[in-house]
Structure 1
């Protein structure tokens, strides 16, 4: 899916050409999983797969959205965006808005609020969505939608929001309009990414820093391994992990697990049941691994971070228990075929792994992973290289 697909869909629903096409990137997370909603540290990067939003304004005070992934457009009066003022996710669970459309409409609702505007202040819009970000693969197709729509409305409605404010708009749309309790990592990475770099984000202060990866210089690439095991962020497993983190912080008398270090873990183990302790241990050690990865990249380049990636996967598998057998198989097979490092990426319970490999080994590692999946009787995975890329932009 490309700019042309979004433009063609817009023409089909609106009968005219759009005023522009905007896009935003999917994302992969190099390291730092589930630390974002604990006010910790993350190191994601935007990828070359993008979601495109063709958008045009009209005098009718309505918002109409269509997607190449959904058969029917969804239409709402701008003033009815207030349906998202209720409990988180209520507009979706009550059936008033399809979940896919809530990502788009929720961005419009949150963007107006962030800019201090109301539905009466802006014209209606038609929005057509096309995307080549793999859905359900843990590559944040949702943040790519939010970033593309937010960038478009920011321009057309003259909202004058900064990139970080647009990321906050996307997070609010996902948290409140859709009802998925995610942090802000995905939106920041999708919107603020830069080529051949990751984005170090302090989820407490929301300070960001671009961190050079140097993959091309070192002859390395990142291979995504989509296990084809689909996951859903609004599912019980994600909610359970977040609740465990909140219990752990309360037991330790701190507002967020960000406030703990490895030195606090012995006391945590005394105060908590085993499951809660292991959830806490993952967050505490993962935060440190993010910091260590940034330092290792600066000191030794991307070849220096392999062990940190592997340790991160082990922590997610054993302590946070969000991996699945297919993800473990992907990581083990990639490492066995010569990967510098590998780990699952994303919220877990399915999705993708990433492997840091020599550029000359793509075919070799792919074959090894495919063979390992076949030997286990799993659905064949899809392997493809992912390139750290630019974030939100106007394409035409």
Structure 2
């Protein structure tokens, strides 16, 4: 596809790109509080917000124990809430019907009746959180450390209303933002604690992960929920998915005259249709051949590209001598190559961001390598995503890649502040030339984690 922009072209030569405005979170919270009172006949106790996330590197490796580099952005989902004493959970949304968050019809269930296979659609993300909190409270989660503070009494219930500024279906973690804002609201209503510490936030993220894995049926690995609940403003998380420990890396590209640009391709983005789960199954099959608990265990503590290549050679040798493989051989090897090289790229970027003066051009090159791996080895891009990356690079971006699970969604690009408009024009032109829907543009800043707003 052609994504070339003439060197003499200016942004005025093309249709004006559509920008998503910066959210006024306090104003949205106040409006949500009013809508809650109109719907339920009483004021909410409070309003909680949780952000979506972007990810610099570490796609499809969280469930394999790899390092991811997410940050929470400034677009949030809000939950207004008030307690009930009858064990009933009610929820309404201010969003129109869409792919992942909601429509405006009220939903209701008894919390004790929530279980896998019972609740579908957007309400699964909400109701699943209460189920996940009780699961983590009794140590039944995949990381079986009981956290009784998360347990909800049998009589506990809540009225909820949600609103979101996170673009839905854009691959910027609107579903995790919904889960995490609900989790904070339920935790606060039940305990009176509006400021959970990092250990409790880790447990709440686990509850949200369980909601998505078991109630919603998306076999994701916890990257999104961790970023939404445990990020700090102005920082990127180096998230070790073996134990969910985090190192916070100061990362302000504005000091170098750069910014993060997200392009919402508006291609449908869905993870609960089996595509994500099939990639996970192939990675787990590769780990079984290599006889390691997770693919991260096949690499040394500080892996290099040579280490990644050695794992691939070992995988090939084991198959040649008769190791059993439960998934398609070609696909599994591609997923393994993506996983190994992606884990190395994450470590390389984290090392660079540790330095006092990061080499942002090097980071940008790694972003491009990450996109190529997502396209060729993980096979999760679509033409719109590839066009957005090509358009960014043709206009001078230092790097660009798909962000999130792919199959639609968004691209994140590292661009100079002075070239943002020109770059958006390039992508706009590329999409028009290829007959794609008009994209949306957002600038992203590493922002604070979920918190109470009102």
Equivalent position of 1:243 in the other structure: 281
Q: Is residue 79–residue 161 contact of structure 2 (8 Å, CA) maintained in 1?
A: yes
- DSSP-derived class of the 1:31 partner: coil
Distance in 2 (alpha carbons) for counterparts of 1:269 and 1:376 = 39
Partner of 2:382: 324
Match for residue 170 of structure 2?
Answer: 137
For residues 112 and 278 of structure 1, what CA distance do their matches in structure 2 show?
A: 38
The worse-fitting range, judged by mean Cα deviation, of 157-166 and 311-320 is 157-166
Q: Which structure 2 residues correspond to residues 356-367 of structure 1 after superposition, within 5 A?
A: 356-367=414-425
Give the whole-Å Cα distance in 2 for the aligned partners of 1:339 and 1:72.
Answer: 43
What is residue 341 of structure 1 aligned with on the other side?
399
Give me the whole-angstrom Cα distance separating, in 2, the residues matched to 1:35 and 1:98: 27
1:304 aligns with 362
- In structure 2, what is the equivalent of residue 105 of structure 1? 127
Aligned match of 2:313: 266
**Larger deviation: 381-390 or 46-55?**
381-390
Q: Which has the higher helix share?
A: 1
1:13 aligns with 2:60: no
Query: Do the aligned residues in 1 keep the contact of 2:283 with 2:295 (CA within 8 Å)?
Result: yes
Structure 1 residue 26 and structure 2 residue 52: aligned? Answer: yes
Give the direction of change, closer, same or farther, for the CA distance of 1:127–1:281 in structure 2 (3 Å limit). Answer: same
**Counterpart residue number, 1:394:** 452
Q: How many aligned positions are there? A: 385
SS in 2 for 1:309: helix
Distance (Å, rounded) in 1 between the aligned partners of 2:112 and 2:347: 45
Q: Does 1:371 align with 2:429?
A: yes
22 and 119 in structure 1: CA distance in 2 versus 1, 3 angstrom threshold: closer
Structure 2 residue matching 1:372: 3-state secondary structure: helix
Contact 2:73 2:446 in 1 (8 A): yes
Residue equivalent to 1:94? none
Counterpart CA distance in 1 for 2:401 and 2:247 is 23
Please list every run of 5 or more consecutive structure 2 residues that lacks an aligned counterpart in the other structure: 1-22, 96-102, 138-147, 300-307, 320-324
- Contact 1:297-1:304 within 8 A present in 2 as well: no
2:151 and 2:341 map into 1 onto residues whose CA distance is 44
- Give the aligned CA root-mean-square deviation in angstroms: 1.7
Residue in structure 1 matched with residue 344 of structure 2 by the alignment: 288
Structure 2 Cα separation of the partners of residues 357 and 311 of structure 1:
16
| Mapped partners of 1:33, 1:235: distance in 2 | 18
| Corresponding residue number in structure 1 for 2:11 | none
Normalised TM-score (structure 1): 0.93
Deviation at 1:303, TM superposition (A): 4.0
Distance 2:272 2:340 in 1: 24
3-state SS of paired residue (1:199): strand
Tell me if structure 2 keeps the 8 A contact 1:213–1:297.
Answer: yes
> Conserved in 2, the CA contact under 8 Å of 1:79 and 1:120?
no
Gaps of 5+ in 1: 92-96
TM-score by length of 2: 0.82
Q: How far, CA to CA, are the matches of 1:136 and 1:269 in structure 2?
A: 37
Residues 15-68 of structure 1, C-alpha deviation per residue, up to 9 Å, x if partnerless?
Answer: 111010001001111111000011111000101100000001133431111111
The answer to whether the Cα contact below 8 Å between 1:78 and 1:119 also exists between their aligned partners in 2 is no
Does the 8 Å CA contact 2:85/2:155 hold for their aligned counterparts? no
Output the CA distance in 1 between the equivalents of 2:434 and 2:246: 41
Shift in Å, 1:128: 0.5
- Deviation string for 1:282-322 (max 9, x for gaps)? 00110010010011122342443111101101111111111
1:175-190 equivalences under 5 Å are 175-190=213-228
C-alpha separation between the residues in 2 aligned to 1:113 and 1:256?
24
Looking at structure 2, the residues matched to 238 and 124 of structure 1 have their Cα atoms a distance apart, in angstroms, of 33
Match of 1:207 in 2: 245
